[in-house]
Amino acid sequence: MKVHKLTATQKNKLIGIEYIPNCTYNPVQDDNGIWIITSEEVEQTTDEKFAWVKDLPQIEYVKPKF
Amino acid sequence: MFGNYIGASNPRFFGGLDADAAAFIAVAGITDATQKTAIDNLYKDLKGQGANNSSYDFYTRLTAFWLFVGGTSTSCSFNGKTPSSGNTYNLTYSGAAPTVNANGIKFNGINGYADTKVPQNLISNSANGLSVYFRENVANNEIQIGYLDTSTYKATEIGMGYTSGANTKFFGGNKYDENFGATNYQSVGINGLIRLNRTTSNNYKVYRNGSQTESFNYLSYNNTDTSTLVIGGVKKSSGGVQAFSIKTFCYADIMTSNSLSAAEELVYYNCIQAFQTALSRNV
């Protein structure tokens, strides 16, 4: 599954921000410690202030071990 | 519409509907007749006034419960206890928005969850309860509902269906260390109504579909952290959520300071199962 890669600075800009009503971005780390958000969050972003998420590079998701 | 009405305690005011059921139906925008009847019957059952329960008042004991009905993330967000648009325990979502259909609500297993807004420190050390009802009989290392103190690894959480060697186990805690249960669920199944139930400060139990499957003699611990429990993963005291779930949830609840007896557990299950059966999503 493809997800979108974030820098730590980009991650901090998204935490707690609603991208659709009653739903916030939730950047998480994959098994390699890389911050990611999902394609659903990117595709449903309409706020121009966060349009930069549309340009985030895609990577393959690696599920963290737990 | 029914948020601040006069005569709410009179069920006849709503054409026979339980007043709280009517309030839920209104705030959640439920229009389907089958769903309305199922909701009304559930409220009556929870109050000890229904076909499946005429003895016990579960409704008063519940702090919050979520019905995951109505087919939208908004309709699924409302707390069923004294429902209103401004209820403290209405769910908020984070990560990829949940998939919602007639079977309930499903997160993506990567970063999606719902925040219950119920602080873990409100949960009593001597009497409490948590439930989830989910459909998939599929083992996965995930937490369905809960909170984890990441400095001590003590938790209040349900993780039903962990793989442990060749076995499928309960994993979780109740105001205590995370632990595997003794039962192997590989052949009996993990889905349905899973309840965590603490009736004393030195013992808690796990029930599946009204029957006890685990008993832990662990003394509860004090923790003043105000982090909230989430559905679809486990909220960490250090921030963030982990162990995301891929189950389809049909019901969840929290009792912060009440519990159920063994006899009540079975009746409670019968109430919840009747609700799911009426919606044709029972397992």
- The CA–CA distances, whole Å, from B56 to B53, B61, B263, B279 equal 7, 10, 10, 23
Residue among A23, A28, A36 minimizing CB distance to B97: A23
Contact yes or no for B111 and A61 at CB 8 A: no
**pTM of the shown model:** 0.95
Residues of chain B with C-beta less than 8 angstroms from the C-beta of A58: none
Kindly report the nearest CA distance between residue B241 and chain A, in angstroms. Answer: 8
**Residues of A engaging B, defined by a Cβ cutoff of 8 Å:** 1, 3, 20-28, 36-38, 40-41, 44, 61, 63-64, 66
Interface size A-B, in CB pairs within 8 Å, comes to 58
Measured CA to CA, the distance from residue B22 to residue B13 in angstroms comes to 10
Find chain B residues with C-beta within 8 A of A24's C-beta.
92-95
Distance to chain B for A40, nearest Cα, Å: 6
Q: What is the pLDDT of residue B15?
A: 61
Strands B128-134 vs B192-200: parallel, antiparallel or unpaired:
antiparallel
Half-sphere exposure of A63 (CA within 13 A, CB side): 13
Sheet strands side by side (includes A2-6): A28-29, A35-38, A2-6, A58-60
Please give the Cα distance from B161 to B177 (Å, whole number).
Answer: 18
Asked if B117 and B228 touch (Cβ cutoff 8 Å), the reply is yes
Q: Which residues of A touch B240 (CB under 8 A)?
A: 28
Q: Answer whether B141 touches A (CB < 8 Å).
A: yes
**The domain B11-278: what is its CATH number?**
2.60.120.200
The three-state secondary structure class of B18 is coil
Which of A12, A24, A26 should one mutate to test binding to chain B, selecting the residue with the greatest count of B CBs within 10 A?
A: A26
Q: In one letter, which amino acid is B196?
A: L
- Residue B45: phi, psi to the nearest 5? -65, -45
> By the 8 A CB rule, do A23 and A37 touch?
no
- Looking at chain B, which residue has its C-alpha nearest residue A45? B96
Tokens 């009746």, residue located = B267
- As for the ipTM of the complex, it is 0.97
Tokens 């442990």 correspond to what residue?
Answer: B164
Q: How far is CA B126 from the centre of its chain?
A: 19
Contact B110 A66 (CB under 8 A): no
Contacts of B279 (CB under 8 A, 6+ apart): B34, B35, B38, B69, B102, B250
Determine the Cα–Cα distance for residues B121 and B130; give it in Å rounded to an integer: 14
User: Using a CB-CB distance cutoff of 8 angstroms, which residues of chain A are in contact with residue B93?
Assistant: 22-24
pLDDT of B11 = 47
B100, B72 contact by CB (below 8 A): yes
Under DSSP, the state recorded for A22 is T
According to the model, what pLDDT value does residue B183 have? 97
Q: Do A40 and B108 touch (CB under 8 A)?
A: yes
Residue B187, min C-alpha distance to chain A (Å): 24
The pLDDT score that the predictor gives to residue B113 is 98
- Given a contact cutoff of 8 angstroms between Cβ atoms, the answer to whether B131 and B259 are in contact is no
CB contact under 8 A, A28 and B111: yes
What value does the mean pLDDT of chain A take? 96
Q: What is the pLDDT along chain B (283 residues), one digit of tens a residue?
A: 344 343 344 444 456 899 999 999 999 999 999 999 999 999 999 999 999 999 999 999 999 999 999 999 999 999 999 999 999 999 999 999 999 999 999 999 999 999 999 999 999 999 999 999 999 999 999 999 999 999 999 999 999 999 989 999 999 999 999 999 999 999 999 999 999 999 999 999 999 999 999 999 999 999 999 999 999 999 999 999 999 999 999 999 999 999 999 999 999 999 999 999 999 999 9
Asked if A22 and B92 come within 8 Å (Cβ–Cβ), the reply is yes
Could you tell me the pLDDT band of residue A65, with boundaries at 50, 70 and 90? confident
Give which of A6, A18, A22, A43 to mutate to test B binding, by max B Cβ within 10 Å: A22
